Amino acid sequence: MRYLVVGHVCQDITPAGRVFGGTATYSARAARALGCEVRVITSTAPDLDLRPALLDIDVTRLPSDCTTTFENIYTPNGRRQILHAVANRLDFAKVDEPSLNTPPIDIVHLAPVAQEIDRGWLAAFAGALIGVTPQGWLRQWDSAGRVSPIEWQAANEVLRRADATVLSIEDVGGDESIVKRWAAQARVLVVTRGRDGCTVYTHRRSIDVPAPAEIEIDPTGAGDIFATAFFVRLRQTSDPLAAARFANCIAAKSITRHGLDSVPTSLEVERCLTSTH
């Protein structure tokens, strides 16, 4: 199965220094662990060594003077997010790759983190499952880099054209009215809810799917890993509920390890396939 993920590979500023982040990073690694042939289209500074994060993964890097860089600051009043730098946009028309869909790609994962993807990608891959994680279309930032929510202007078009959309309830500030509105427009919408699992919205129904209980060590990347597992299993089965059960299982395992080590092991994949079959 050929898995293409489009989005910025990020550098996150943490107390321990800079670490790799971004949906593209976690999703590419998760898809590779799930047995896919993976390709990433991203944009970073030319001197960023991607090998520690994306070894054995085919990367097309569009030129940029900088790498998208986030900093999360935790306060008694909640998290503040600062966007220190943004790499160049990933406009489909600028990707001069005649062989991009040869042989055909099975899954295209549009994974914006900072408004970097244009909608031209939605119609470019006939026969592929188009999966969307819209987090980066739901945020804006001011001149000081302070991140805040923004209305998703293209929601109607993207939700109608994507085969599956996955987001966290935190992405909409817990607003169930937004979820209800988007669910009415989407083919398949999945809202992750942390330890409570997820809700699948399809055919104008909503079904809660519980997650296995695990001891949380680090939740970083769990939503990205969930989305990847969901898209892969949905492509294999065409069954959103089976895909959600599998993705819940994979994501629950991911929170028991730190950072990039959270991607599933082959044994975890086998066990999750068996237990959710």
- pLDDT at position 209 over 70: yes
Say how many residues make up the chain.
277
Lowest mean pLDDT among 19-23, 163-167, 239-243, 261-265: 261-265
Q: pLDDT tens across 178-205, in order?
A: 999 999 999 999 999 998 999 999 988 9
Amino acid identity of residue 277, one-letter, is H
Instruction: Count how many domains the chain has.
Output: 1
CA 224 to chain centre: 4
Q: pLDDT tens across 59-114, in order?
A: 999 999 999 999 988 777 767 899 999 999 999 988 867 678 788 999 999 999 99
Predicted local distance difference test score (pLDDT) of residue 96: 67
Predicted local distance difference test score (pLDDT) of residue 78: 67
To the nearest whole number, what is the mean pLDDT of the chain?
93
For residue 129, give the nearest of 106, 102, 160 by alpha carbon.
Answer: 106
- Host domain of residue 269: 2-275
- Enumerate residues 6+ apart whose C-beta is below 8 A from 190: 164, 165, 166, 167, 198, 199, 200, 201, 227, 230, 240, 244, 247
Instruction: Using CB atoms within 10 Å of the CB of residue 148, give its burial: 0 to 12 exposed, 13 to 18 middle, 19+ buried.
Output: exposed
Q: pLDDT tens across 43-64, in order?
A: 999 999 999 999 989 999 999 9
Stretch (H or E) spanning 167 = strand 164-168
C-alpha span between 227 and 192 (Å, rounded): 9
18-25: average pLDDT: 95
Q: pLDDT tens across 122-178, in order?
A: 988 989 999 999 999 999 999 999 999 999 999 999 999 999 999 999 999 999 999
CATH number, position 250? 3.40.1190.20
Kindly report whether the global pTM for this prediction surpasses the value 0.85.
Answer: yes
- pLDDT at position 216 over 70: yes
10 Å Cβ neighbour count for 52? 9
